[in-house]
Amino acid sequence: MPSDALPRPRLLVSVRDADEAAMAAGAGADLVDAKDPDRGALGALPVETVRAIVAAIAGGAVSSAVAGEPQEAAALPGLVAAMAGTGIGYVKVAVRPDFDAAALAAAARAAPGRLIAVLFAGTPIPENLVGRLAEAGFAGVMIDTAAKDGRRLTDLLPAPRLSAFTADARAHGLLSGLAGSLAIADIAVLSAHRPDYLGFRGGLCFGNDRTRGLDPERVALAIHTLRGLDRRNAA
């Protein structure tokens, strides 16, 4: 492998039920992420649905589930604990920059080594926030777009800011992810920022509509595109 080759990101596919989960895992998705696309960017599914998703994956992929978008810091630990109890791998929860250290630490204790913070691209992200999340005990951090209005992650944050974000996560020992109305064509561009995961929903659905079902052909194409990065790096 050339010395300047970059490790490719892994593919996160968001699913809304057990059937989608089984399809995504069977197709080769690296991480199957449970969330409700009818309830905004980080809508949580019922815990019973998440348990069914865990059973459908049957260890065939890493898994995660969204715990919601709490407006108050005090709600964090309870939401995280409820989703962690489903048997899912990672738990994702929206984190506001003004949440205090005690609440962040309590949330991390509710899912030890498994909690991923989701930050929104349209909200200013303080320079010290990633460090605070690492200190609190989070396992990773992602950036997503809050409003699913057609604007993509790359419309809201410039390339240098995305590279700085993933570098900050690596420096603090956290997993990193980039998501937000991504298209398959974004894979090659965003891979240069060295995220651990690229997150998809709408771009892999029929008609680019995140509230419709996943299109198996698009899921397969995304996986093929990522594997093509491996072949390019090996050349």
| pLDDT, tens digit (0-9, with 9 covering 90-100), for 154-171 | 999 999 999 999 999 999
For residue 52, the 8-state DSSP code is H
Distance CA 72, CA 136 (A): 17
- 232 has a pLDDT exceeding 90: no
- 48 has a pLDDT exceeding 70: yes
- 56 has a pLDDT exceeding 50: yes
pLDDT band at 229 (very low <50, low <70, confident <90, very high): confident
User: Is 92 annotated as catalytic?
Assistant: yes
- What domains can be seen in the chain, in order of their start residue? 10-234 (3.20.20.70)
Task: Phi first, then psi: give them for residue 45, nearest 5 degrees.
Answer: -80, 160
Q: Which of 35, 51, 201, 218 is catalytic?
A: 35
Ordered alpha helix ranges (H), 85-215: 101-110, 129-136, 153-156, 159-171, 186-191
What average pLDDT does the chain have?
A: 93
User: Is 35 annotated as catalytic?
Assistant: yes
The model carries a pTM of 0.92
Q: Which of 8, 16, 51, 92 is catalytic?
A: 92
| 94-146 tens-digit pLDDT | 999 999 999 999 999 999 999 999 999 988 999 999 999 999 999 999 999 98
- 41 has a pLDDT exceeding 90: no
Distance CA 197, CA 32 (A): 11
